[in-house]
């Protein structure tokens, strides 16, 4: 069984003590400001559940964010505009400057710590507490990322617009999102691996196994982020670093077993010493933290799902059979930039119109179902034009829109396209599959 590591602080070299002070200071800043406030509490997206979350987010924006902006402008002399976004900063310039701020503050903290603490010859107990915080922070992240895949919210199935978009028009990011969203089973599988890593990290005895699983999962996620230009590269790098730090004490033992075929000794588990009362308090605190993690990571996908608009009552892809403007029937000429080719009713607040020149308009939309009216908002530069259309449906596959567009009266006859004809939709799993 695992052995308890001694907390005798003798034997740390001067360079090791300096390195630990810097690493501890840097990680403390990162864990609190990036993992805890920005990510784990999800304050920036409005999906957090912590009491007082809005107050903490507002305080963060008023106190810390200006420090990052000031550093970018006055120390790094950046010419680009630098601003904090409450909706997340990912790999933006704000995120990179923030890391520079962490490094500068950690250097100052290391100098002050070194001058103030000249007697200590090691920090094994502080290191043990740091490992506990790291594994819980990594566990929370793995559970959070995993549950929005196990409860498949992160990668939605390809939408009607995705089905119509030419492959070459996809950004690498959206290509990945569509690829993941196509297979719910694969999405759940990848999320289950992340949840497994998070669950294993919650306990001392399985920390190394959890860190190994997390490293493997995060390495794959990191490659996807880098190769498909997903703006979460900084995040995954630090999560990988956390997994490596947790694995570091066992690398020699793992090498003996997996590579060198040598026997190895039991792990030396660093457990901070504590009184009986402190141990009971620790168990209680652990139970509360794990409960919070489970509740929030299960509830977050449901809260995110409620954020998305439901399908339009007219949901579907429609080809324009006839387009009449001011009583004149317009022929389907590709040189006519005003005639419509397709209409895609997507959600209750979003509709897409394709023009004859292949351009698309993404239109804000609202419905009056009782009056059978739909209002589409056309934008051209700074000009906004709201157009109300009455709709009628002679049968399931046809629709007629009557209304005005600017100063013109418009009548549009639509025929529904059967989206089940797309190969991506109709393709099913096959055990015997000689051809893709």
Question: Does residue 210 lie in a domain region?
Answer: yes
Same domain, yes or no: 158 and 234? yes
Q: What is the pLDDT of residue 1?
A: 46
Same domain, yes or no: 109 and 138? no
Domain extent at residue 231: 128-273+304-308
Question: Band of the pLDDT at 45, cuts 50, 70, 90?
Answer: very low
Same domain, yes or no: 145 and 267? yes
Token pair 């690498």 is at which residue? 172
Question: Does residue 347 lie in a domain region?
Answer: yes
Same domain, yes or no: 404 and 333? yes
Q: What is the pLDDT of residue 44?
A: 37
Number of domains observed in the structure of the chain: 3
Rg of the chain (C-alpha set)? 28
Same domain, yes or no: 34 and 76? yes
Question: Does residue 279 lie in a domain region?
Answer: no
Q: What is the pLDDT of residue 425?
A: 85
Same domain, yes or no: 398 and 324? yes
Q: What is the pLDDT of residue 269?
A: 66
Q: CA-to-CA distance for 58 and 43, rounded, in angstroms?
A: 10
Same domain, yes or no: 19 and 116? yes
Q: What is the pLDDT of residue 301?
A: 83
Same domain, yes or no: 138 and 256? yes
Query: Is the whole-model pTM more than 0.75?
Result: yes
CATH assignment of the domain containing 362: 2.40.128.20
Q: If you average pLDDT over residues 23-32, what whole number do you get?
A: 93
Q: If you average pLDDT over residues 232-252, what whole number do you get?
A: 92
Give me the percent of the chain exceeding a pLDDT of 70.
Answer: 91
Q: If you average pLDDT over residues 357-374, what whole number do you get?
A: 92
Sign of CA dihedral 124, 128, 129, 134: positive
Question: Does residue 286 lie in a domain region?
Answer: no
Same domain, yes or no: 161 and 118? no
Same domain, yes or no: 142 and 88? no
Same domain, yes or no: 69 and 206? no
Q: What is the pLDDT of residue 5?
A: 52
Question: Does residue 328 lie in a domain region?
Answer: yes
Same domain, yes or no: 220 and 193? yes
Q: If you average pLDDT over residues 300-317, what whole number do you get?
A: 86
Q: Which of 99, 122, 145 is the last residue before a domain boundary? A: 122
Q: Which of 122, 154, 179 is the last residue before a domain boundary? A: 122
Q: CA-to-CA distance for 97 and 67, rounded, in angstroms?
A: 10
Q: Which of 106, 122, 138 is the last residue before a domain boundary? A: 122
Question: Does residue 58 lie in a domain region?
Answer: yes
> Phi then psi for 395, rounded to 5 degrees?
-155, -175
Question: Band of the pLDDT at 47, cuts 50, 70, 90?
Answer: very low
Beta bridge partners of 415: 319, 398
């Amino acid at each position: 069984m695992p052995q308890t590591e001694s907390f005798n602080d003798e034997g740390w070299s001067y360079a090791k003590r300096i390195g630990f002070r810097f690493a501890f200071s840097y990680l403390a800043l990162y864990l609190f400001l990036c993992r805890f406030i920005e990510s784990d509490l999800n304050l920036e997206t409005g999906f957090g559940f912590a009491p007082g979350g809005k107050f903490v987010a507002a305080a963060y924006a008023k106190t810390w964010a200006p420090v990052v902006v000031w550093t970018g402008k006055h120390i790094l002399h950046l010419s680009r505009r630098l601003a904090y976004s409450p909706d997340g900063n990912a790999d933006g310039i704000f995120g990179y400057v923030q890391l520079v701020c962490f490094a500068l503050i950690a250097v100052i903290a290391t100098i002050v710590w070194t001058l103030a603490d000249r007697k200590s010859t090691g920090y094994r107990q502080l290191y043990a507490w740091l490992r506990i915080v790291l594994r819980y922070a990594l566990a929370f992240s793995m559970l959070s990322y995993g549950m929005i895949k196990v409860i498949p919210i992160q990668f939605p199935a390809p939408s009607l617009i995705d089905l119509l978009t030419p492959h070459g028009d996809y950004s690498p990011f959206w290509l990945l999102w569509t690829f993941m969203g196509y297979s719910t089973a694969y999405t759940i599988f990848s999320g289950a691996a992340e949840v497994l890593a998070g669950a294993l990290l919650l306990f001392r005895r399985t920390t190394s196994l959890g860190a190994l699983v997390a490293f493997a999962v995060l390495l794959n996620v990191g490659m996807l982020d880098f190769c498909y230009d997903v703006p979460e590269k900084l995040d995954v790098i630090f999560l990988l670093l956390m997994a490596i730090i947790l694995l570091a004490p066992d690398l020699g033992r793992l090498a003996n077993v997996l590579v060198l075929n040598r026997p190895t000794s039991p792990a030396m588990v660093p457990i901070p010493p504590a009184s009986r009362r402190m141990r009971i308090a620790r168990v209680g605190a652990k139970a509360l933290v794990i409960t919070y993690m489970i509740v929030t990571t299960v509830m977050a996908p449901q809260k995110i799902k409620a954020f998305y608009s439901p399908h339009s009552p007219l949901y579907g892809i429609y080809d324009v059979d006839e387009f009449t403007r001011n009583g004149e029937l317009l022929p389907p000429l590709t040189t006519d930039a005003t005639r419509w080719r397709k209409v895609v009713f997507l959600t209750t607040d979003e509709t897409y119109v394709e023009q004859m020149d292949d351009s698309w308009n993404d239109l804000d939309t609202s419905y009056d179902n009782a009056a059978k009216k739909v209002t589409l908002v056309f934008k051209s530069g700074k000009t906004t034009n709201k157009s109300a259309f009455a709709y009628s449906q002679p049968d399931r596959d046809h629709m007629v829109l009557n209304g005005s567009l600017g100063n013109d009266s418009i009548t549009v006859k639509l025929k529904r396209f059967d989206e089940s004809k797309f190969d991506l939709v109709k393709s099913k799993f096959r055990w015997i599959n000689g051809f893709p």
